[in-house]
Amino acid sequence: MRAKPITVQRYCVERLGVHRGAVAAARVAQWAMVTADLGRVPTTVEYSAWWSVKERTGWNHRALVHEALGEEWPATVEAVAGEIRRRSTRSLRDVQQLAVAL
C-alpha cells in the first residue's frame, strides 16, 4: 500500500496496464459502490444481484479486483466506499477518479 493518495484509475493502470487496468478500475468502483450502499463489502452473490449480472460474471469481476488490489482488496474497497459516502458520488467515472491511499 502507498501512503500517498492516488486515483483508483491510475493505480489500476500502473499495476495492470492501460486496457486491463481501466477495466479493473471500473470493477473496483462497482464493488465500492455496492459496499457504500450496503455498509459492508458484499458477497459475490450480493454483488452479482446488485448489478444484475450472472454469478459467474461476479466472480470474474471479483478476481480482477483481487488482481488489481492484492490480498487486502476488501480493505481498499472499504476505503473507496468511505470516500463515496463522504462525497455522495454515484458515478462510476467519478469513483474511478477518487484519490485514496492505495
pLDDT digits 0-9 by tens, 37-81: 999 999 999 999 999 999 999 999 999 999 999 999 999 999 999
Half-sphere exposure of 49 (CA within 13 A, CB side): 6
Q: How far, in Å, CA of 17 to CA of 32, rounded?
A: 21
- Is residue 31 exposed (0-12), middle (13-18) or buried (19+ Cβ within 10 Å)? buried
pLDDT value at residue 75:
95
Phi, psi of 43 (to 5 degrees): -70, 165
Half-sphere exposure of 52 (CA within 13 A, CB side): 0
In the predicted structure, residue 2 carries a pLDDT above the cut 70: no
More confident: 27 or 101 = 27
In the predicted structure, residue 20 carries a pLDDT above the cut 90: yes
Cα–Cα distance list, 8 to 38, 73, 93 (Å): 20, 12, 10
Confidence band for 92, pLDDT divided at 50, 70 and 90: confident
Average pLDDT over residues 76-91: 93
Prediction pTM value = 0.91
**Cβ–Cβ under 8 Å, residues 77 and 99:** no
**Cβ–Cβ under 8 Å, residues 18 and 25:** no
